[in-house]
Chain A
Amino acid sequence: MDKLLKDKKAIAVFVLPAFILFTFILFIPICQSVYYSFCDYDALTSPKFVGLKNYKNLLIDETMKTAVKNSLFFLIYSCVTQLIMGLILAGLLTNIDKGRNFFKNVIYLPCVLSSAALGLLWMFIFSPKLGINQILEKFGMEGPLWLMDINGFIILPMWVIAFVALWQYVGQSMMLYMAQISGISKSLYEASYIDGCSRLQSFKYITMPLIKPMIGTAMSLNAIGSLKFFDLIFNMTEGGPNKKTHVLATHLYEQGFKYFKYGYASAIGTILLVLCLIMTFLINRAFREDDR
């Protein structure tokens, strides 16, 4: 038995295929990408080491500033709104019996649909002459140019896209919280009602502390998801108007595969990677620490 489970040859057979694949497709490319970020590299030349030049250029790149601003906006917006809406929906759905499955499934539906297709769909709904603006027109109002307005610190198209992202992915957070809430023993709540708690109080003093670890999980999923965010923006605005709706991922795509500045795009990728690592670390720290 012991010999069987310590069989070195079998372990190698089990682990090596995936290990080799992982190393070649993920680990080595990551190292290469970090190296390229210090290189002058495009489609025609081979990489040539130039030190921090790409990063210095990033500092004076206006689109990069917009992209960082928009990505951070997205990060904060999705962490906050997904937490609030997710908790509200989960709290309401666990308190009703009739139709719970229906509402749950409807709200979760967009999570499994292609965000490329949904992005196109919402682009039409928010386009100047279709969808929402047609409804507003019926009431005699003139709707704004949802996806083309460029006034303000966070421009209107970013709010629209952030709303669509919330619409699409809030089901995920809701389900995570629901799974956790339905695991809490009913007797805890009954005891709290006997002690005179209202429903809101029992939510605050029983539900919230008990689902805290899950808030950490959901939030780190949201944070990484919003940093990676690409499909919706690409199909709704393609970074426009005037490059004002770029986020890190779309900026990277444009620099790397439209202008073929591989070195420069790798520098953006490295920044994205560092942001992802920092966010995971911070959220894990904030929510796991007081578990003990």
Chain B
Amino acid sequence: MSKAVKVLIYIFLSITAVIYLAPLLWVILVSFKTNSEIFTDPFALPKSIFIDNYVFAWTAGNLGTALLNSLFVCVITLILSMFLGSTVSFAIGRMRWKLSGVVLVYFMMGMMIPVHCVLIPLFTRFAKVGLSNNLWGIILPYLTFSLPTTIFIMTGFFKSLPGELIESACIDGCNIYQIFLNICMPLAKTGLFVTGLMTFVANWNELLLAMVFISDDMKKTLPVSLSKFVGPYNTNYSQMFAAIVIAIIPTIIVYCAFSNQIVDGLTAGAVKE
């Protein structure tokens, strides 16, 4: 490749990178400004670091509680979906039964179905059994919608394990549960990491379901509690910017620390699809 072409490529990529980073840096910058400063002097560095925005956003928006709620929901969903997904995948990928193909197709159906289509029936039913306005009421659908991808990827992993391993474990007198828990699960670590990551990221950012099912301020998850700062009556922009920063900063920090593993993991999951 000639040098000129290379320079052109780098210029193009640099412009792209600026388009990606500028909005994120801008929001951090203005979140430290007072409301009038945003309009008079939007691009200069803030005159003094104005922390009050953060204090207000954190307390008035209940963002601390929202952060904990999000964490609770995502971690529980993560653990359950890994476990339930792996057991099904193990049964489909390794055990021999007539209906395994049919059951796999049944679970795969879930990949094509948008969550919007089940909102109304779930909403009315959950209201009857006391699951509306309850964090478990969003954990159950999150878990269900993460199962298809998890099962698809994990079945592939279990199928690729060498059969001799299971054979020798069997000769050593392991029962089927021990084979699953002690032999196959540790070997499918990569698969668990990939599916776990996909589940966590998707649920951490989910808005629609959480917005419909949760109305109590103390039970809202992070994306939902952000919407409190928008609206025609709210003119205090700087506080909204602080809230946006609080909402995305945890993800950005984790992403910066493990970006290569995260990008490769999420891609590996999608490639398998």
The interface of chain A, by Cβ under 8 A from chain B, is 1-2, 4-8, 10-11, 13-15, 17-19, 21-22, 25-30, 32-33, 36, 89, 92-93, 95-96, 99, 101-118, 120-125, 129-131, 134-135, 167, 172, 175-176, 178-180, 199, 214, 217, 221, 224, 227-228, 230-231, 234-235, 248-249, 252-253, 256-257, 262, 265-266, 269-270, 272-273, 276-277, 280
Contact = CB atoms under 8 A, between A and B. Distances in A.
B95 A7 contact: yes
Interface residues of B, number: 97
B97 A11 contact: yes
B27 A121 contact: yes
Given A112-B255, A125-B26, A179-B267, A106 B97 contact: no
Contact of B23 (A19, A99, A122): A122
Interface of B: 1, 6, 9-10, 12-13, 16-17, 19-21, 23-24, 26-27, 38-39, 42-43, 84-85, 87-88, 90-92, 94-97, 103, 106-107, 109-110, 112-125, 140-141, 143-145, 147, 151, 166-167, 170-171, 175-177, 179-180, 201, 204-205, 207-208, 212, 222-224, 226-227, 229-230, 237, 240-241, 244, 247-248, 251-252, 255, 259-260, 262-263, 266-268, 270-271, 273
Contacts of B115: 228
B108 to A, nearest CB: 11
A221 B42 contact: no
Contact of B122 (A7, A10, A25, A125): A25
8 contacts: A19-B106, A27-B106, A29-B122, A33-B121, A114-B207, A116-B223, A124-B27, A135-B43
Contacts of B106: 19, 22, 27
Given A14-B91, A25-B144, A130-B38, A121 B23 contact: yes
A11 B91 contact: yes
A78 to B, nearest CB: 15
A30 B266 contact: no
A15 B110 contact: no
Given A22-B107, A92-B13, 17 more contacts: A4-B175, A14-B87, A26-B118, A27-B109, A102-B17, A103-B16, A106-B21, A107-B17, A114-B222, A118-B248, A172-B266, A178-B267, A231-B205, A235-B230, A252-B116, A269-B120, A276-B114
Contact of B270 (A199, A221, A231, A235): A221
Contact of A124 (B87, B112, B223, B241): B241
A256 B208 CA distance: 12
Contact of B94 (A5, A124, A134): A5
A-B CB proximity, top 4 nearest:
A29-B121, A116-B223, A14-B91, A29-B118
B260 A101 contact: yes
Contacts of B16: 89, 103, 107
Given A10-B176, A112-B251, A25 B17 contact: no
Given A15-B103, A262-B120, A4 B176 contact: yes
A22 B177 contact: no
Contact of B39 (A108, A129, A175): A129
A114 B247 contact: yes
Nearest to B38: A130
Contacts of A99: 10, 13
Nearest to A12: B91
A265 B120 contact: yes
Interface of A is mostly: helix
Contact of A273 (B97, B117, B180, B222): B117
A99 to B, nearest CB: 8
B222 to A, nearest CB: 7
A105 B256 CA distance: 9
Contact of B85 (A18, A106, A180): A18
A114 B273 contact: no
A14 B90 contact: yes
A21 B118 CA distance: 14
Contacts of A109: 20, 24, 252, 255, 259
Contacts of A107: 16-17, 20
Nearest to B224: A116
A155 to B, nearest CB: 20
Contact of B117 (A21, A221, A269): A269
B266 A111 contact: yes
B1 A199 contact: yes
B110 A18 contact: no
A29 B42 CA distance: 49
Contacts of B229: 120
